[in-house]
Amino acid sequence: MIEVSTGNGVSPFRLKPWFSARPWGRPDLRPWYEETGTTELVGEAWLTGPECLVETGELEGRSFKEVAAEFTDGLGGGEFPLLVKLLFPNEKLSVQVHPDDAQAQAMGQARGKTECWYVLEALPGATVALGLKPGVTAEQMVAGVADGTMESLLEWVPVSPGEMIFVDAGTVHAIGPGVVLLETQQTCDVTFRLYDYGRPRELHLEQGLKVMKMKTRAGKVASREMDGFTRLIEEQYFTVDRFEVEELEPLTVRMEGPGCLVGLEGVVSVITPGDEVELLPGQAVVIPFGVGEVIVESEHGASFVRCVAPA
């Protein structure tokens, strides 16, 4: 077995998902989660959110926000740089846009919000909206919001399980129902809602028009087969890879920066010297920067993704 050392004073640990109620969410998230602890509609399960609680090891019971602020070297300088979520839309999400780094910092935020979506489930005909149709103007967008035709101005793209979609900051976007998405994004929750299908929620049209871009690099990303895993996306702010673990065959997983492993199917043991953490579907095990490599193995076979921020 390869020797693995923990770094920066903290070993890998598992986080308990934090469930976010949304009007477009679902009453039941099974088979991913048996219960959510609320009777409200849940749209998002935050896997590395600041409210998530540590479930394993000496840090058990502490919030991820508190832990990240204490172990700055290993977890990204005081705030974990990646917010990883599972999205469960039962209805259409609002049409929205996020700022880039420069725009967000001008507002007093630490960073912008570039994200990606890995499609885990998709019913036939499921779609997402990525950008505006060619020639659409800001004036047409304002009119579309007023008269309820905003949807017709968007580029709707069909999606299937296994596809990866890049959503560059500044992209006007939306998500339709009938999908389950694994979202990896910069840790930033600045969202400007442009249109919400008549729901009684606040819109941020003026702010959104200022940060939106008519053309971005948003779109589907072709996966690449690497040495022992599949690279789903490699961008400035994150790299996301998928691993398949064969039954009882240990696998070495290297972490080039702060990141996490997210369970998709089966149960995985994440092993470092003197420590072992169980990775479950729909949960994240955080691997602090400085740990370097972990060994993963599964009794019956499993799959998971690695989400890593730059070192």
> What pLDDT is stored for residue 274 in this prediction?
87
My answer on whether 260 and 280 are in the same domain is yes
Write the pLDDT tens digit of every residue in 254-303: 999 999 999 999 999 999 998 999 999 999 999 999 999 999 999 999 99
Q: What is the DSSP letter of 305?
A: E
My answer on whether 259 and 212 are in the same domain is no
pTM: 0.95
**Which tokens go with 50?**
């600041």
d(CA 84, CA 87): 10
The phi, psi pair for 21, rounded to 5°, reads -75, 135
Give 8's pLDDT tier (boundaries 50, 70, 90).
low
The answer to whether position 209 is within a domain reads: yes
Check which CATH number belongs to the domain holding 259 and give it: 2.60.120.10
DSSP letters spanning 192-249: EEEE-TT-SS---HHHHHHH--SS-S-EEE--EE-SSSEEEEE-SS-EEEEEEEPBT-
My answer on whether 103 and 248 are in the same domain is no
> What pLDDT is stored for residue 10 in this prediction?
87
pLDDT exceeds cutoff 70 at 7: no
pLDDT exceeds cutoff 50 at 4: no
Cα within 13 Å of Cα(86), Cβ side: 26
The answer to whether position 76 is within a domain reads: no
> What pLDDT is stored for residue 76 in this prediction?
85
How many structural domains comprise the chain?
Answer: 2
Residue-range definition of the domain harbouring residue 180: 18-51+82-220
pLDDT exceeds cutoff 90 at 190: yes
My answer on whether 244 and 104 are in the same domain is no
Chain centre distance of CA 232: 13
- Domain closes at, from 193, 220, 247: 220
pLDDT exceeds cutoff 70 at 3: no
Lowest-confidence range among 51-55, 73-77, 124-128, 149-153? Answer: 73-77
- Virtual CA dihedral for 130, 133, 137, 139, nearest 10 degrees? -80
The answer to whether position 70 is within a domain reads: no
The answer to whether position 173 is within a domain reads: yes
Lowest-confidence range among 4-8, 102-106, 291-295? Answer: 4-8
> What pLDDT is stored for residue 248 in this prediction?
85
pLDDT exceeds cutoff 90 at 52: yes
Averaged over 219-225, what is the pLDDT? 98
Q: Prior bond to 27 cis, omega within 30?
A: no
d(CA 112, CA 99): 5
More confident of the two residues 77 and 183: 183
